[in-house]
Each structure stands twice: as structure tokens, then as C-alpha cells.
Amino acid sequence: MEARILIVDDDPDILLGLQNRLRWLGHDVSTAEDGERAYELIQQDKPDLVLLDVEMPRLNGLEVLKRVADNQPRVEGADAGGNGLTPVMVVMTAFGTVARAVEAMRLGAFDFITKPFDADRLAVVIEKALAHRVLQRRVAELRGEVERRYEKIVGNSARMDAVVTMARKAAASDITVLLLGETGTGKEVIARHIHRWSARAEKPFMVINCAALPETLLENELFGHEKGAFTGAVQREPGKIEAAEGGTVFLDEIGDLPLALQARLLRVLQDQEFHRVGGTKTIRANVRFLSATNKDLKQAVLRGSFREDLYFRINV
């Protein structure tokens, strides 16, 4: 792919050599000789890839990485040029300072290359970085499509305004929320907005329909399984609770959750931990739970089909 590439180095010979090579490969190349200028160009030109030297005057490569991570706007979608996405950062470092490159990757760099450059290694790293850029764009596009589907809460009544106000208040904390309403009234729309308004907005939003699967498959969907847990379990697979780490789990139609799984879910809500199917290792779960149902859970508690302790846990 043709890409916008920014090369940042205080050595003019390295700048010229990389610039000529990358332009010969068909890329749109710009250069900067210090970190301050590099950061300005990242903001102005929004390159796809930045080849960033670690040791530079005015602002070193690690400081540039920190600024980009702290100040680059995060968006839910991107245009065809990738605008709004953080550029893929590859750091360049002298052979004896690999530890600095490791620190750079901890700050968000995609990869590193050492000086003097090996031509084959340089080509592979750039190819991988640009492939990652394509993946970034596709993920942003798909995320944007999903978010646009649930973008607006349609309603202009006092009751709807009260619901939105309550949802915004709930979003500010990690309390569990139970959404009640008939089918088609927009419970998932509200749940997605609570997630988007919360501090977990950049983390996953995982939806589990408790009425759509039989008990054994639903258990696997929630908690995942270990290799060999059952016939066909050829490898370990995480469940949606584990995959949502740091984010939100939305339990739709929770009124249909089987009693046995209600007990397991209660353990997660109480202790923030669980075991995969067939496993003994304790998995910590840093997730926020939202639930929804069209059933009368108070009546279900009286009938014995829904646990009272779970009802109070999800209905904060």
C-alpha cells in the first residue's frame, strides 16, 4: 500500500537514505530532525507510519511517544485516509540501546529497528507496520458502523429524558444496572450509551443473549473453556466475560438465565472472579455488568425461577 511516512532522525545522512528508499517504493515521505518538529508534523499531516529515532535533541523519541499517547484524539471511526487514528510508531535505536527500544514499545511503539539498518529487517518491519495500519482502519470502520447503528436515542418525552438522565448518572460509576422494558423499547441502545458515556468506553462492549443458547453453550459463552473440557475442545478459549476485560458485559434477557448459571454469575458479581469450564485456575474479571429483561423479575423471584440474591446484585 502507498502510505504517508514520517522519518524522524537528527542524522541527515540517515534521513536522506531512508527518504530515497521509501520514495522509491512509492510512499509519500516527510522528515523531521528533532522531536518537537516531529510532533508538529504528526498533528498536521497525520502520517500512517512514523520511523522515530530514540535519541534526539529538544524532544527525544520516548517523549514524542508519550505526547502522542496522551494527546492524540481517539475516535470511533476513521475516513479512508485513516484520519483520527494514532499513527503506527516504529522506533530506531543504536545497537547498544535496545533497552530504550523496549521502553518505547511499552509506551505504544509497534516495533523497533537497530542501527545500522539491515535492509531485509527494515523491509519486513515496514511491511508489518503498514499491514497493521490497514487493520487499524478496518477495525475503526467496523466500530464506526456499529456505533452509528446505536448512535441516537430517539425520544422527546419527559419520561425518556428522565431515563437518559438516569443513564448518564449511572455511567459515571461501575454500579450494575438493570434495564426493564418490553421487547423493542431500546434496552440495548441505552446499555450501549451507558458504556459509551463511561470511563470504560475505549474497552470492549460484549453482548450475551441469555435466551438464545442452551445452558451448556451459554456457560461456555460466558466463561470460556479449557482444552479438553469436553469433546471438541481442542484448545483453550476465553469466554465473553474474560474477553471484555476492562470493559462492559451486557446480559440481555437475563430473566431467561438458568438457575445453575445464576449461581456462577452471582460469584462473578460478588468476587470478580470465575473459572473456565473444565478449569481450576481462578480468572479475575475487571468488568462492569449491565443487564436487561422484559420479564417481571420480582415475580420470578417469588416463583423460585430467579435467585433473590442475584436480583439485588444486578438491580443496583
For the segment 159-187, what is each residue's pLDDT rounded down to a tens digit? 888 999 999 999 999 999 999 999 988 89
Whole-number pLDDT of residue 149: 65
Domain 158-314 architecture: 3-Layer(aba) Sandwich (3.40)
Rounded percentage of the chain residues whose pLDDT exceeds 90: 52
Q: Which of 105-114, 195-204, 292-301 has the lowest mean pLDDT?
A: 105-114
Whole-number pLDDT of residue 252: 96
Whole-number pLDDT of residue 72: 60
Q: Which of 66-75, 131-140, 290-299 has the lowest mean pLDDT?
A: 66-75
Asked if residue 291 has pLDDT above 70, the reply is yes
Q: Span 110-123, mean pLDDT? A: 85
- Residue 90's identity, in one-letter code, is V
Q: Report the topology of domain 4-148.
A: Rossmann fold (3.40.50)
Rounded percentage of the chain residues whose pLDDT exceeds 70: 91
**Which of 269, 218, 261, 267 minimizes the C-alpha distance to 240?**
218
pLDDT tier at 100, thresholds 50, 70, 90 = confident
Whole-number pLDDT of residue 150: 59
Q: How far apart are CA 203 and CA 244, in angstroms?
A: 7
Asked if residue 152 has pLDDT above 80, the reply is no
Are 4-148 and 158-314 the same fold in CATH? yes
Q: Which of 19-28, 89-98, 242-251, 285-294 has the lowest mean pLDDT?
A: 89-98
3-state SS, the chain, equals CCCEEEEECCCHHHHHHHHHHHHHCCCEEEEECCHHHHHHHHHHHCCCEEEEECCCCCCCHHHHHHHHHHHCCCCCCCCCCCCCCCCEEEEEEEHHHHHHHHHHHHCCCCEEEEECCCHHHHHHHHHHHHHHHHHHHHHHHHHHHHHHHCCCCCCCCHHHHHHHHHHHHHHCCCCCEEEECCCCCCHHHHHHHHHHHCCCCCCCEEEEECCCCCHHHHHHHHHEECCCCCCCCCCCEECHHHHCCCCEEEEECHHHCCHHHHHHHHHHHHHCEECCECCCCCEECCCEEEEEECCCHHHHHHHCCCCHHHHHHHCC
Whole-number pLDDT of residue 79: 44
Q: Span 188-213, mean pLDDT? A: 93
Question: Which has more confidence, 262 or 71?
Answer: 262
165, HSE (Cβ side, Cα atoms, 13 Å): 7
Question: Which has more confidence, 313 or 136?
Answer: 313
Domain boundaries of the chain, sorted by first residue:
4-148, 158-314
Q: How far apart are CA 84 and CA 78, in angstroms?
A: 6
Q: How far apart are CA 84 and CA 77, in angstroms?
A: 8
Q: Span 13-31, mean pLDDT? A: 90
Whole-number pLDDT of residue 1: 63
User: What are the b/e assignments for 6-22, b being 16+ CB within 10 Å?
Assistant: bbbbeeeebbeebbebb
Global confidence as pTM: 0.61
Question: Which has more confidence, 55 or 78?
Answer: 55
Q: How far apart are CA 17 and CA 51, in angstroms?
A: 13
Asked if residue 298 has pLDDT above 70, the reply is yes
Q: Span 185-207, mean pLDDT? A: 92
